[in-house]
Amino acid sequence: MTVYAIRGAITIDSNTTEEIEKKSVQLIREIADKNKDIQSVVSIIVSTTDDITAAYPAKAIRESGILSAPVFSCKEPSIDGALPLCIRVLVTVCSENATAKHVYLGKAKILRKDLFND
């Protein structure tokens, strides 16, 4: 077994509980769907930009039941010019197949231009 990490990020359209919960679950569902070979999720770290205050993305991810693991939440550093309204995740997994399929959705695709050409 190998321990490795899967990265992901998504942006929300507005700082509302509904939008935060919807997009957080969308991101973790996409990560789970693209990484079907995951045998065991060790932990999930969720970070948010300072402008996300209406709800906890980590709570929505935990309550979704899509991946079962401890979830930790933190704030991104406040950096001039950083992508606003962004939720990022780092999913640590244990698997026989250590091929991570990272997921960047919405405006968060600009964070990893090497993965997306559009």
Q: List pLDDT tens digits, range 7-65.
A: 999 999 999 999 999 999 999 999 999 998 777 899 999 999 999 999 999 999 999 99
Correct CATH for 2-111 of 2.60.120.20, 3.40.50.800, 3.40.50.720, 3.30.1330.40: 3.30.1330.40
Sign of the C-alpha dihedral computed for residues 95, 27, 20 and 63 taken in this order? negative
What is the spatial distance between Cα 109 and Cα 115, in angstroms, rounded to a whole number?
Answer: 8
pLDDT value of position 98: 73
| pLDDT on residue 97 | 76
Give the tens place of pLDDT for each residue, 59-94. 999 999 998 899 999 999 999 999 999 999 999 998
3-class SS of residue 64: helix
For the segment 104-112, the average pLDDT, to the nearest whole number, is 91
If you write DSSP's letter for every residue of 94-114 in order, what string do you get? EESS-----EE-GGGGGGGTT
CA distance 6 to 108: 15
**Beta strands at 2-11 and 103-104: parallel, antiparallel or unpaired:** parallel
Give the other-Cβ count within 10 Å of 116's Cβ. Answer: 12
Q: Look at residue 118 and tell me whether its pLDDT is greater than 60.
A: no
Across the chain, mean pLDDT equals 92
**Whether the predicted pLDDT of 106 surpasses 70:** yes
User: CA dihedral in degrees (89, 94, 98, 103; nearest 10)?
Assistant: -20
